[in-house]
Every structure is written in structure tokens, then in C-alpha cells.
Structure 1
Amino acid sequence: MAEYLRSYIYYTLHSLTKYDYMAIGWALFLAFLLLVLAAIVRKRALSYLLLLTGVMLLFTGPIAAKVIMDGYLRAADAKVKETKILKYSSSLVIEGELKNSSRLDFSRCDLAVMIYRPSDNPLKRAAAILKPALVRIEHLDSPVLRGESKPFRILVDHFNMSDFNLSVQPRCYP
């Protein structure tokens, strides 16, 4: 999981576009503007409200801007078509299709395969999704044009689970 977080932070910081910088800049500008207004306003209740709103916007604004821009500019869908466990070795083969449904062409994509144990207990299921049993990241360096679909095949070696759930999450960068 640490490898997944490290690669996510690295590629997120290196893939910001000018639109991301503008959205994050506006969120930070509005937060600081609200903080300055909170210091200037004489009414205490309004000042506290502006201060609270400014601090909340300071911490949540850049994250919300990034999430909104990801949904708008970097939307990609990964559909798993077939999973099979090889009989002659302990390997799992995942085949699927990656579709670019954003407004930009992607120069590279990362596919994060998260495998977790199924459970009927909702708390155990949530814990398994937050901390998967196995995380495998596959890098696709070939460009994916707007509206185009590309097949993918991911091989997970040393796989020894008989009952499992998996999810494939694409992260694509222009």
C-alpha cells in the first residue's frame, strides 16, 4: 500500500496541468481573502464565521479542486473482462479494457489492481477495501487518445488466494 501511495503522490504532483494550478490557486486565494476579511471585520460573529470558512477552504479547497479536475479532465474507465488463475503456476491473469472518457489525450496511465478478501461483515469489508491484501500497479506508457479504448493484461505472480475480490483503478495523465 505504501508503494501505491508513493507512486500516486509522485505522479499526481508531476502531472498537474495549468488548469489544475489555476483551480488550486483560486481556492488558496479565496481562503486567504476570507482570512484577511475575518481580521478586518469588526463584528465578532461574522469575523468568526469568515475565519472558520477561510480555514476550511484553506485545507479542503485544493483537494476538492483536484478531485473535480480529475473527474473533468482525467476521467478513465477500466473494465475487467476476464480473470483466471493459471493451473500450472500460482499466477493470476487479469484481462480488461481501458477507455479514455475525458476531454484530453493521455500520455501514460497507471492501473492499480487491488485484491482483497470478501466478507459478509460490513466492517470487515470496509477494512479490507481500505487495506487490500495485495496491490499491484501496472504502468501503461502507450498514449490513449480521447475516446479510444486499449486492452490490458496484468499478471500477478505468487497468487495463492482461492476466494477474492478485485478492483482495477485507472490513473491517467495528460
Structure 2
Amino acid sequence: MNEHDERDEELARRLRSLPREMVPPARAWARVEVQLLAPAPQQPRPRRGGGGRIRGRWRALAGFAAAASLALLLVPSLLPRQESPPAPAPRAAPATVQQAERMRGEYRQALAAVPAGEIPDELRPALVELDRSAASILAAIHEAPGSRYLLDQLQRTYAQRLQLTRRAAFAAAGLPT
């Protein structure tokens, strides 16, 4: 028997031990009954005919709403409570942000090392989009600093941007890419 089978057996045992039906306490039903039977405040009659039907519908809807509200309040208190797992340690967060900032500095240095030249018009939209993506990924890293995936995406985006910039520089200089 492996670990999953043991957990499944334990879960099945716990499920079998739960009661088949859960009935709210009598005082809850008494409150619902009082709210349903309470007279509605008198309002001026509408000028058109059929006001009694409308008032009756509203009274019924108000009763249903009160019962639903009470059910929403009672049901969670009747269910068994489960403890939430402990939150992960935030130690890795600053390291990821520092690594992203270090990567950004290295990218800027590499970009500055590429000879400046005229960028072909067909490459401009791609360069702008890559810059926008890098900024979005950096912002996301600052919001979720423990994400290794975002760091990898930032590295790929910077690599693509640098490669495209080099290709544009070589093309402007008349060199083969």
C-alpha cells in the first residue's frame, strides 16, 4: 500500500464518520419564521390597481432573502473546519528581486555595448513590444517576488531584445546577421 492509498483510506474513513444530515438549530428556524410572518410596514397604496399582488410578491421575496441570508450565515459554522497550511517562508523573495535588478543592469550594459545605428522600421514594433513585456515582467516580479518562472521569462525577454537589437545594428552596418 503506498502513501496515496493510505491517504485515500484515511479520507474515506473520515467521510464515513460525518453525519448524514445536518439540521440547523431550532432557534434559527424560529428566527426565520418570525421574519417570514412579521407584518410588512404599511406603505401608501399605489395609484394603479394590483398593488396587493406586488406587495405580496415583495413580502415573499423578502422572506426568501432573509432565509437565504440566514442559511449563508449558518452553513459555514456547521461545516467541519480545516486548518490552512502555513504560509511559505518569504526568504526567497528579496533574492529573486535582487537577481531581476542585477539582470536588468547587465542587460542595459550589453545594450549600451551594441553600436547605435538606424533601426529598420519593420523591427521597431517588435523592439517596443519586447521593452513593454520586460517592464511588465519586472513589475510582476516586484508583486510576486518568489516566482522563478517570472525571472526566467525576464531573462528570455532580455535575450530576445538584445538579439534583435544586435541584428538591427548589423543590418544598419551592412554586415550579415
Q: Indicate whether the TM-score tops 0.5.
A: no
Structure number with greater Rg is 2
Q: Would you tell me which structure has more helix in proportion to its own residues? A: 2
Q: Would you tell me which structure has more strand in proportion to its own residues? A: 1
